[in-house]
Chains A and B, each alone.
Chain A
Amino acid sequence: MKSTTETTIAKGQAQTTRIGVFLLRVNGTTPPGVDYAMLAEYAAKLPGVKTVRTIAVSAAMEPEKLATDIRKAKLNTIVLAAEHPGFYKPAFARALALAGGDGGQVRLASFAERGDGGGAGRAREVLTSAVRGTPNAPAVAPSPSAFNTATLVIGGGVAGIQAALEIAESGHKVYLVERTGTIGGRMAMFDKTFPTLDCAACILTPKMVAVSQNPNIELLVLSEVQEVSGNIGQFTVKVLKHATRVDAAACVACGDCARYCPVTTASEFDMGIATRKGIFIPFPQAVPNTYMIDPAYCNWVQSDGKKCGACAKKCSKGAIHLDAKDETVEFAVGNIIVATGYDALDAHRVERYGYGTYPNVLNSLEFERLTNASGPTGGKIVMKSKKLNKKTKQEEWVFAPDGEKPKAVAIIHCVGSRDKNYNSYCSRVCCMYSLKFAHLVREKLPEAKCYEYYIDMRAFGKGYEEFHERIREEGVYLVRGRTATVAERDGQLYIHGEDTLDEHLITLPVDMVLLSVGLQPSQGTAELAEKLCIPRDDDGWFRELNYNSEPNSTMRQGIYVAGVCQGPKDIPDTVAQASAAAAHALRSIVGATAHATAAQQKTVEIAGTPARP
């Protein structure tokens, strides 16, 4: 008799909701003002809840392990409770899917965003709503008078610049935090933009100057976000500001210091194909337009002030303070826009293309610098030539304006993209920038032959297909097939691949190979995601709240994403998304200020619970 009842229950389970409540312990701590033991006791009594567990979570969670637990308890719905449980949602969703459930059935009970200030009673309400699946209005928005109208923009590329300008020009304060010594980002490195072939600098530099001149924008270069706490309207941000060791107000960028600096190293802005000094300015149009010292390449810093110091002595403005220290600044903002962009895939990883072994195999950003008028050859496309390094007494391959011109250039698409061995996604911009490269080669070297090895030509945007047609007509050879190898025999590069339309193998002698490397999240994206408690997707990009309807928002209110850090995209899309992210921030700012003028504090009503002041 007993067994029959059990069978009935077991059969019924397929339809009933079996909820597992997970109280997350992040870095060993529980949310302030929330007692997990009491909350667990309360949650266990809620309808449908089968298990309540308090578990420690980390950024590197193993969905497989979780899946075993979920399968054991036969759960089909999961409630995650923490200050910011959204960060852990992807891991649990995958685990639930692995356990045979619907990965969409992960609900969040976020104490920070929905229960702030409510104490234990409020925590119970938040959890109850999540367990019941009823909407729970965000209770977090501070009273309009307390809503901070400043915005933090992380990343000073074209997306960050655009978002900062949109907000600043509507009269609100913006903190623009940039890791390198100048804003401009990747776009500042480019020579031309596709498909219009506009000069990239002509579009970007006016915007950069506008940033430097806007009184509403506080620009923090050489700075990194260290800590973010609080919620929408009331974030507190800690930023580590590395010392530039040059007084920006006094420096006139005359360059005397760099002339006397004895240390030379590879220029990051030029992707290593040109050199800079220990005291340097990334490029002549940099914003802020001041020199800075790289402590790793400064004799004075490395010797604790015992050696050198030539720059400080020579500076006629007395702008150089070699002993300046890094500082941490703290400020409050109401919204955060993340625009951290991308890094190019490390082409060394694709060993068979010989990047790093053969001098004239370049990645795409290196070629951008080579062909840029502010690059090491003044924009001339030449091959590397052997020059004697006077210091090390060794011969080195370097770009020099008098280098030999290549007679044949090959461009290889999809390097590290659409490839399960590297990144399986399409990086979206490579086809078009490769066509642009082909155009630049044919324009600057009409005698040179140019071959493009592509798999599929993705000319998806407005005017892109026409651009593709135009490049074809310019006499570029488009070969459908992926190059298998790049080899060198007797100083001559050969690329070997199949022309899949002709079904023949071809081995071509070329002088220069350009690798159209894919995009990947910029270094530090994972750490930033953890600091902001916003999740990333499987490819490492920041996860948007909803792919179609909320591509700018994250799981956390008041934190928005713009540009490539959300997924590969071209410049027009990046700029559009940045403006949209700014609109999100402005919406909350304007909403708060409008309320404040109405001098009427609205209470937030929660379904099924009495309104709170």
Chain B
Amino acid sequence: MALLQISEPGKSTDPHNRKLTIGIDLGTTNSLVASVISGEAKILEDNNYRLIPSRVLYEQHQISVGNDIPNHALTISSVKRLIGKKKDDIDADNIALELADSNEIFIQTPQGYKSPIQVSSDILKKLKKIASDYFGDEIYGAVITVPAYFNEGQRQATKEAAKLAEINVLRLINEPTAAAYAYGLDTKKEGVFVVYDLGGGTFDVSVLQFNEGVFEVIATNGNSTLGGDDFDQIIKNYLINKYKFNSQSLEDQANLNLIAKDIKEKLSSEDTINETIRFNNQDYQIDISLSEIEELFIPLVDKTIQCVKNALNDADLSTYEIDGIIMVGGSTRMPTIQNYIKKFFNQDLLNDLNPDEVVAIGAARQASVLSGQANDDTLLLDVTPLSLGIETMGNLVERIIPRNSTIPIAKAQEFTTYKDGQTMMKIHVVQGEREKVSENRSLGEFIVKEIPPMPAGSAKIKVTFQVDADSLLTVSAEEQTTGVKTSIEIKPSYGIEESEIRKMLEDSFTNAENDKKFRSLAEVIVDANQILELTEKAIQDDKQLLSDSEKSTIERCMNNLKSEITKKNPSKIKLATDELNNASMSFAQKRMDNSIYSSLTGKNINEINK
């Protein structure tokens, strides 16, 4: 019979509908998978290993990941540094890196060229398998963590990797946010927290603000080439210099790395190490004190402190304004680091959870909340993948909610009529990053009716975009004088593939220059047409105010402007528009005087003052 887990009150699931969820910390050096079981977040082990090295070995007929890889095999590692990137820094041990003409990165393997997304997906497949083996059941979905500084492209690439691994991504969350969840900081009312994350090869610091149930990353900083391994390196050099450890081969180097790491870990709990080490068929007697090594560590720790200072600066915060400091990454166990950070902030650290596991634990908790199996009302931070806006005159897009805005969000903007006496307005809602309406996704449209007739530009229509926590977009338009409101509801993410989102983003980058040109041309044409129309109407209405010479000048300017519009040079159109404006200035003045005169004639002074 099936084994049951204890659910939260009222959250028992139907048989076969058990939604097994996992949290995945997809790290540069190591990855972890965790799940909430009977209310308790737990790391799922891979044959007793809790950490799964983020390494993949491709052989002719086999793919091995993490702990399954035999020692000293040539593997692909640190692929996270490449994901979602074009040609950039490269860290694939002795494996040729091929750059295709599209700037995409491919890694040559015995199984053909692999993209970083494919390599990541192989790691994710392994993590998913660990979980499904543990439960003996299918995994419903996963929360995957990404660094706070990951851009949209890197996030989309991570999602694609998950899709390739057939993982239903419930959400990507930021690593520091996951750490904060693990410490239950979301149960507090509000606060500002610093997450100090010293991984194997990278250092990240994030400043998180928790407010009204939402964690927001307000500043990040770090060093992508500084990590726990650098501390090992220092000990290694120290062993070579002081104790004359003699390493020749690559294998010696690798062994010495392990010895150094071991010493670092021992010094996290002991003040001195006095022992004999067997290395390369030779015995080395070592006698190392923590204080001796600490001195060598200081420059590295100082580097991290500088990053922390920069992040605090960006967030415009002082150390005393920080409500908690979370330590993430195995290397933060080092007393040198703990003491330093404690002194810097002048307060105790949040370090009672395993710093290697805290991100995965937080992700597992989130996954459980998202699948509706846990009792938790925490709001979750998500962002709009693409900008949302409406069509304006000239086939242009006016963006109301920019891409990457955290949801829920509401934003309003006022629009006006283009023509005199205009009583209707079409609100066409579009999604995308391009300037031209037709290059974006059309989400829907509706018509605002009953706009009272008034001169062009006088009506005020307030258009409000609101995206709720479930990404449901409501667009409403309100005519300000009558208060008549029209609205539409849209699910913007519906029917859009991640690859499509990515393509739209990339198109907007590659077409940025064209788009800019298109917009500047469209804008001047809209202006020019409007002034042409107004002038034509004015001439028709008030011919008697114009002298013949004035009339011919104005008409000449109008014809010139019309011909410039067909030539499509924005600056020349602008010039011709200004000319027409100048030529018709005195005519406009006379018309205005005339209308004031006619509206005032026959009224006494008291009436006018009303």
Query: Does B bind A?
Result: no
Which B residues contact A (CB, under 8 angstroms)? none
